[in-house]
Amino acid sequence: MAHQLFIAGQWRDAEGGATFEVENPATGETLATVADASVADGRAALDAAVAAQADWARTAPRDRGEILRRAFEIITDRADELAEQMTAEMGKPVSESKAEIAYGAEFFRWFAEESVRIAGRHSVAPNGATRLLTLKQPVGPCLMITPWNFPLAMGTRKIGPAIAAGCTMVVKPASLTPLTMLSLGEILTEAGLPDGVLNIVTTKSTGKVMEPIIRDPRLRKLTFTGSTEVGRSLIEQAAEGVLRVSMELGGNAPFLVFEDADLEKAVDGAMLAKMRNIGEACTAANRFIVHESLAEEFATRFAKRMEQAEVGPLVEAKQRDKVAELVDDAKQHGATVLTGGEVPDGAGYHYPPTVLTGVPREARVWCEEIFGPVAPIFTFSDDDEALRMANDTEYGLVAYAFTQSYSRAIKVYEGLETGMVGINQGVVSNPAAPFGGMKASGFGREGGDEGIEEYLETKYVGLAP
């Protein structure tokens, strides 16, 4: 497997042979050594994307779609191999890695089908004097910065629509988990992607290497998945070139359990919403807001299920330390630990599934994204209070609500200030649906019919008859 930079269809060392180490979070030991790109390497990657753009934009939509379809099939065939690699570099159980492989591959299949459905329109001006023609064209070279928590899927849902739309790209995977993206580069090459369409730059110096690319006038789009803090900085940089920007940023997802909820289904949903990816997901339920009449029973059932959960390590020591700090802060504010709550002995960056009750809203877990297997439970007394609590955050990515009332469900999903809502289900992510948030959780959508629009410009032509 390649551990080098991928630029203009060639695997090559970083300038000066610079490298960095990738850890196995289960043991803390070095898993691989990967090329550490310089500013010049980043510029070379953009050069390659720019040089390939015109020819790639002229490629037939069906041909672009067939490349994605072949890549989907290769990923599916190699799911076991890719899952083992993902688990080694990221830490999630192999079963969850396999689920991500299947989910991530679906973005390639979805956008393979969307590539041939890019369409404009033709109409007559109201006064009849002109014909109005609109067409869609690729936005141009893109920079994609992907996170560590879903090493394949966060790449495929950006790369898929870019390929389908006819855009070239530079991809910068997270330095904690770069190996899966490098394997994806090999797969796309095998599937027939032309040289220069996809360029992969691995580096530990993300800001230093990426900022010159963002400020280069040849770049036309920036897409980022990661923290709101970093996203704000990138948006400022992108403003100089007036780039097309899409941002999928932090979350603080509320999980609402109303008094008429099916409690068993609510607990099932809570396990999915909290424990997918060991809680290291922007869509993870962060605040469990439960009606006071159900809170004690819900907490007891939930804690029992959490004790039985299969989990791997968190991605690095820094992340585990943050989770432990948040739990300790909640305990200092009077929260009760039903299960978990202590850093275990032994190698790796493990933290046990944890349920907290009696958590006051002064605790940091109310307003900070946990990104770990910790579930703080809060209570409410009526529907209006539940909605106020749910919306009491700068974030607005996703929310979950469990109720058997049709009218209540409508009131809740219309009132929630989030880009996505799950009603009686703990997972909302689907390649056929638009993924994205509002407020400080970002803007733009990935997946669904909307996903390819992020990579297309609309051009209007006035035709004299």
Domain assignment of residue 356, yes or no: yes
452 and 348 assigned to the same domain: no
77 and 18 assigned to the same domain: yes
Q: Exposure pattern of 127-162 as b/e (b: 16+ CB <10 Å)?
A: eeeeeeeeebebbbbbbbbbbbbbbbbbbbbbbbbb
What three-state secondary structure class fits 140?
coil
* 248 is annotated as an active-site residue: yes
201 and 262 assigned to the same domain: no
- Count of structural domains within the chain: 2
242 and 270 assigned to the same domain: no
257 and 396 assigned to the same domain: yes
Using a pLDDT cut of 70, give the percent of the chain over it: 100
Q: In this structure, are residues 9 and 49 in contact, taking their beta carbons and an 8 Å threshold?
A: no
226 and 278 assigned to the same domain: no
Domain assignment of residue 389, yes or no: yes
Split at pLDDT 50, 70, 90, the class of 1 is: confident
Domain assignment of residue 267, yes or no: yes
Domain assignment of residue 431, yes or no: no
Residue 146: CB partners within 8 Å, gap ≥ 6? 154, 155, 158, 171, 172, 173, 174, 181, 225
297 and 156 assigned to the same domain: no
- pLDDT (mean) for 38-63: 98
pLDDT tens digits for range 136-174: 999 999 999 999 999 999 999 999 999 999 999 999 999
218 and 353 assigned to the same domain: no
- pLDDT (mean) for 275-303: 97
Q: Supply the pLDDT for residue 134.
A: 97
Edge-first strand order for the sheet with 131-138 is: 121-124, 131-138, 456-463
Q: Supply the pLDDT for residue 305.
A: 98
> Among residues 185, 135, 220, 222, which one has the least CA distance to residue 34?
185
Full-prediction pTM beyond 0.75?
yes
Report how far residue 215's alpha carbon sits from residue 240's, in angstroms, rounded to the nearest whole number: 7
What three-state secondary structure class fits 273?
helix
Split at pLDDT 50, 70, 90, the class of 282 is: very high
197 and 321 assigned to the same domain: no
Q: In this structure, are residues 108 and 188 in contact, taking their beta carbons and an 8 Å threshold?
A: no
Q: Supply the pLDDT for residue 2.
A: 77
- pLDDT (mean) for 337-357: 95
**For residue 195, what is the domain's CATH number?**
3.40.605.10
Residue 66: CB partners within 8 Å, gap ≥ 6? 112, 192
Q: Supply the pLDDT for residue 145.
A: 98
**For residue 289, what is the domain's CATH number?**
3.40.309.10
Identify the active-site residue in 23, 89, 106, 248: 248
Question: What are the two backbone dihedrals, phi and then psi, of residue 461, each rounded to the nearest 5 degrees?
Answer: -125, 125
- pLDDT (mean) for 399-408: 98
Split at pLDDT 50, 70, 90, the class of 130 is: very high
215 and 283 assigned to the same domain: no
452 and 306 assigned to the same domain: no
Report which DSSP code applies to 196. T
- pLDDT (mean) for 370-398: 98
- pLDDT (mean) for 403-424: 98
Q: Is the pLDDT of residue 314 over 90?
A: yes
Q: Is the pLDDT of residue 292 over 80?
A: yes
- pLDDT (mean) for 43-55: 98
Mean pLDDT, the chain, whole residue set = 97
Residue 149: CB partners within 8 Å, gap ≥ 6? 90, 177, 277, 280, 281, 282, 315, 371
198 and 90 assigned to the same domain: yes
Q: Is the pLDDT of residue 228 over 80?
A: yes
Domain assignment of residue 16, yes or no: yes
Written as one string, the DSSP assignment of 255-271 is EEE-TTS-HHHHHHHHH
* Structural domain harbouring 336: 253-423
Domain assignment of residue 434, yes or no: no
- pLDDT (mean) for 318-328: 96
Domain assignment of residue 192, yes or no: yes
Q: Supply the pLDDT for residue 264.
A: 97
Report which DSSP code applies to 281. S
CB atoms within 10 A of CB 460: 9
Domain assignment of residue 62, yes or no: yes
Residue with tokens 């799950």: 422
Which two structure tokens, joined as six digits, stand for 155?
């790449």
